Amino acid sequence: MKPAPFDYVQPDSVDEAVEVLAQYGDDARVIAGGQSLMPMLNMRLVRPHVLVDISRLPALSSTVDEDGVLAVGAAVTQGTLAAWPNLGMTLPLLAQALPYVGHFQTRNRGTVCGSLCHADPSSELPLCLALLGGEMDLHSSRGVRTIAAENFQRGVLTTAKAPDELAVRVRFPKAPAGDSFAFREFCHRHGDFAVVAIAARRSGTAISLAVGGVADRPEVCHWNSLPDDSVEDALNDLAWVLGGNDDIHATARHRRQLVRHLGCQVIDATRPDDGTE
Amino acid sequence: MKTLDRHGRFLVRLTLNGIPEEGFAEPRMLLADFLRHEIGATGTHVGCEHGICGACTIRVDGKATRACLVLAVQVDGAAIETVEGLSEPDGSFGPLQQAFHENFALQCGFCTPGFMMSLSEFLEINPDPTANEIKVALSGNICRCTGYHEIVNASLDAAKALRRRASQTS
């Protein structure tokens, strides 16, 4: 199908963009890469009055290596971030997860912030943000606010961003030396939405696990220590807490089993190399 | 601030395979439809129109992109490459087309332009890929005829031919 008619606005600054959003609120949609929004427009699941294109705003097109943080502007594509020098050292989780975000053809255009704002419960970048605990900068004509990752995604395709707010950048905290990360997902075809996606972080004896695709947003679970013989029970408990739903792609039972299975794999993969091999 | 009214038709200028082209587009017009209906370049095929099948894949400023997930008004000034640009200047098959032809890598041909345009960027980034790397790169393109084996074989052959050409010209 083709999109329903809309007015198209290409603002020259963030101030102009938020001005339009303030005027139209719910009737405006922001488009950056459009790799989630365009399908919804084509299928007429959304019919905005005005489309605000921020993809060519220079102010949003940069990635900045700040002290301890990588700040990614709202027009930066997933492909650009994946090619960021030393990403494997500074943000190893993103380096592992980005190749699973769609296909290289959609990563060429799809943006990091766009994926976070779309907030699909099974998508990879919201999962990474949840585990890394970054923050988002939101601008509106009412002012500027920064919101912590844990408070950003509220549920299925729902975030704390108000309709008149523009997500300007996301800040990912860089990995402290010694922390290790792992990412795994199960999907029916490479690049499809994951049935279940899991990321783990090991920091000394502490382990954190983020699970996507089961609850209605990525959920994070933290253990101060998790001895090897209690991993299985801990993952089983987590699977039952998250519950999951039956849908066309998988049953809730299958999803819980994937939490146990992939959970074991990621926890294993973060194990420090003890030099015995 | 550029503001385009929903009922208006706006001039979009771009280069198509190196040649300047222009046409008019409503804000909601998809790039795939602009190429086919405004410019008349029907080599780009439109399949699912929501980014799943990959049939409409083209290159925008060198990057392989779904032409059904981009608006024509968004690419004003861009350099667009489509399947029409893959043949040799004399009209004979280019290396990708030749490899698809020799490996029987198409039947109905509907998905073929998308596969080739995905490969044209992928083989620039990775000139000597493994079969597995090709499968991952092509996972965003769907073919319902071939069963994919011939396409992977054609990709390996095309990579070889493109490497040979690069070594001859350098």
Lowest-confidence range among A229-243, A260-274, B17-31, B79-93? A260-274
The secondary structure element, H or E, covering residue A128 is helix A124-132
pLDDT (mean) for A141-149 = 97
Instruction: List, in order, residues 6 or more apart from A214 with CB less than 8 Å away.
Output: A196, A239, A242, A243, A244, A255, A256, A259
- Go through B113-130 and write b for each residue having 16 or more CB atoms within 10 A of its CB, e for each that does not: bbbbbbbbbbbeeeeebe
Residue-by-residue DSSP string for A80-114: HHHTSTTHHHH-HHHHHHGGGSS-HHHHTT-BHHH
Q: Which domain holds residue A191?
A: 180-269
Find which of B2, B49, B69, B70 to mutate to test the A interface (most A CBs within 10 Å of its CB).
B69
- For chain B, give the percent of residues with pLDDT over 90: 98
Task: Look at residue B15 and tell me if it is in a domain.
Answer: yes
Question: Is A109 in contact with B122 (Cβ distance < 8 A)?
Answer: no
Give the confidence band of A277 by pLDDT, cuts at 50, 70, 90.
very low
Are A46 and A84 contained in the same domain? no
Are B164 and B92 contained in the same domain? yes
Task: Look at residue A95 and tell me if it is in a domain.
Answer: yes
pTM: 0.95
Question: Is A9 in contact with B3 (Cβ distance < 8 A)?
Answer: yes
Mean pLDDT of chain B: 97
CA distance A93 to chain B (A): 20
Q: Which domain holds residue B116?
A: 87-169
Question: Is B69 in contact with A190 (Cβ distance < 8 A)?
Answer: no
Residues in B whose CB is inside 8 Å of some CB of A read 1-7, 26-28, 30, 33, 49-51, 54, 57, 60, 63-66, 68-71, 73-74, 118, 121-122, 135-137, 139-140
Lowest-confidence range among A77-86, A249-258, A265-274, B21-30? A265-274
- For chain A, give the percent of residues with pLDDT over 90: 94
The nearest alpha carbon in chain A to B139 belongs to A190
pLDDT given at position A29? 98
B63 contacts on A by Cβ (under 8 Å): 79, 108-109
Domain count for chain A, please give it: 3
CATH number at residue A47: 3.30.43.10
Are A216 and A118 contained in the same domain? no
Domain count for chain B, please give it: 2
pLDDT tens for each residue of B64-98: 999 999 999 999 999 999 999 999 999 999 999 99
Are A149 and A243 contained in the same domain? no
ipTM of the complex, rounded to two decimals: 0.96
Are B57 and B116 contained in the same domain? no
Are B71 and B110 contained in the same domain? no
